[in-house]
Chains A and B, each alone.
Chain A
């Protein structure tokens, strides 16, 4: 079984630019969520997608947007990059099933974004 894969692994962008990060979910998983992890901090929830629709969002501005595709892979787009956007961006997938949806998350190893 293939796990969660993210690309690219590292990326350097300039302030004001736009970036797209990609995630392939684990086989059989139809829910994808994205997290931002600043250095020395825990991951912060950005948003979640289920069947191609956003169904949960954390405290992030609209310049953070996403997509989920019919094969359940996903993209995270960030517009007008700021220096504080420098972080590790993590993607996680899970099978959504049952009342309460408490299936464990399966994380990729992330994309390290540096904004200069």
Chain B
């Protein structure tokens, strides 16, 4: 299985930036890095993905290390609606391998 390592939990104050780290030291050259988040009682929701270059979308930014062995999901201004479990996932071929994710708490 393609493995990723994330902190179990993180806290952030509302309206401040959040940097969620992920280590994937065994990543291969063709593995894309995906991020999903899961709110309570819901299925996971796509956030962002990338291969080598940093990526931005309306939800977040993804910063990928030059050696691709780590990445960081950046939420520019955390809101209470961003409280969720965030999963960093490698995608080799047709399969997605989820880890246990980072539970993000946003403090008002």
Interface residues, chain A, with chain B CB atoms under 8 Å away: 4, 33, 35, 40-45, 48, 50, 55-56, 58, 90, 92, 100-102, 104-110
Contacts and interface: CB of A to CB of B under 8 A. Distances in A.
B49 A104 contact: yes
A95 B108 CA distance: 38
Contacts of B36: 105
Contacts of B100: 40-42
B30 interface: yes
B46 A106 contact: yes
A45 B96 contact: yes
Interface residues of B, number: 22
Given A102-B49, A102-B91, A45 B44 contact: no
Contact of B43 (A42, A44, A110): A110
Interface of B: 30, 32, 34, 36, 41-46, 49, 87, 91, 93-101
B99 A56 contact: no
Contact of A43 (B32, B44, B46, B93): B44
Nearest to B103: A40
